[in-house]
Amino acid sequence: MVIDNIARLLKNSKHAVVFTGAGISAESGIPTFRGANGLWSKYDPEEVASIYGFMRNPRAFWAFAKELIVKTKAKPNAGHYAIAELERMGIVKAVITQNIDMLHQKAGSRRVLELHGSLKYVDCLKCGKTYEWEEIISKIDDIKCENCGSLYLKPRIVFFGEQLPRDVLNEAIEEAKKSDLFIVVGSSLQVYPAASLPFIAKESGAKLVLINKDPTDKDWLFDIVVYGKAGEILPKIVEKVKKMI
């Protein structure tokens, strides 16, 4: 019944927006950050994920990145593909994500607003040379700029201590305001300002849906809450939408 209700909301929506967090990537094997087995139980975020830590010791970040991304060899899961399918159907107008792994694009999503940037490009902070991610991961154990020798090769992601890209955040806020259906997938909604987007959508009159493995402290905000894996729930919703159409 809940699946039917979400599918009906999607079918009747004029501007549906999907917001995703670490939970959907976890289903592709990428470790989450918080919780008993999260990366922050093994790494100090101040050391490996803040701009101050990076400037002190860039090698610490790259050791962390190796475990976070390279070792997992992550691929999109059924949840990513379901969201991309809804976009192809003309129902989902934008995907807003906190994730930096580019799995939405790999699944076929075209309009992806990356609030925290992505690993697609890496820049040398000393000489400005730009690398593509695939160039970097082949030498991740000994990273330095081939042009100037600097160790300060920084991916275009938002570290703690840095501001979100203003243009992307503004676009995400506009999408939240325009939405009549705002679906949050795999986020505990703990990190601001990203976590404010469902509130903005709600204030603008949107229906809110949460699909998450565990309860959050913001469940009360949502019209429909479903606990479970996005990779199992979202494909069922897509199939229901297709039958309704």
CATH for the stretch 1-30+76-116+164-244: 3.40.50.1220
Q: Has 124 been labeled as part of a binding site? A: yes
Domain ranges of the chain: 1-30+76-116+164-244, 31-73+119-157
110-114, 138-142, 146-150, 161-165: least confidently modelled range = 138-142
Question: What Rg do the C-alpha atoms of the chain give, in angstroms?
Answer: 19
Q: Has 59 been labeled as part of a binding site? A: no
Q: Which two tokens stand for residue 66?
A: 């190796």
**What is the per-residue pLDDT for 41?**
67
Q: Has 98 been labeled as part of a binding site? A: yes
State the Cα–Cα distance between residues 31 and 85, nearest whole angstrom: 25
Is residue 77 over pLDDT 90?
yes
State the Cα–Cα distance between residues 174 and 165, nearest whole angstrom: 14
Q: Has 145 been labeled as part of a binding site? A: yes
Q: What percent of the chain has pLDDT over 90?
A: 74
State the Cα–Cα distance between residues 215 and 115, nearest whole angstrom: 23
Residue with more model confidence, 114 or 70: 114
90-128 pLDDT, tens digit per residue, is: 999 999 999 998 999 999 999 999 999 998 999 999 999
* Torsions phi, psi for 16 (to 5 deg): -90, 140
As annotated, the active-site residues are 116
**What is the per-residue pLDDT for 31?**
72
For 83-91, which contacts have Cβ atoms below 8 Å and span 24 or more sequence positions?
Answer: 83/18, 83/20, 83/107, 83/109, 83/185, 83/234, 84/108, 84/109, 85/238, 86/10, 86/16, 86/18, 86/238, 86/241, 87/111, 89/241, 89/242, 89/245, 91/10, 91/11, 91/13, 91/16, 91/241
Strands 112-114 and 130-132: unpaired
CA distances from 102 to 16, 186, 191 (A): 21, 15, 19
31-73+119-157: which CATH number, 3.30.1600.10, 3.40.50.720, 3.40.50.2020, 3.40.50.1100?
3.30.1600.10
Q: Has 12 been labeled as part of a binding site? A: no
Is residue 34 over pLDDT 80?
no
For residues 166 and 184, the answer to whether their CB atoms sit within 8 Å is no
Q: Give the residue from 14, 15, 17, 138 showing the smallest Cα distance to 66.
A: 138
Strands 112-114 and 92-97: parallel
Taken in order 140, 101, 175, 183, the sign of the CA dihedral is: negative
Q: Has 28 been labeled as part of a binding site? A: yes
- Sole residue written with tokens 């927006």: 17
**What is the per-residue pLDDT for 33?**
67
Which residues have a Cβ under 8 Å from the Cβ of 47 and sit 6 or more positions away?
A: 53, 56, 57, 60
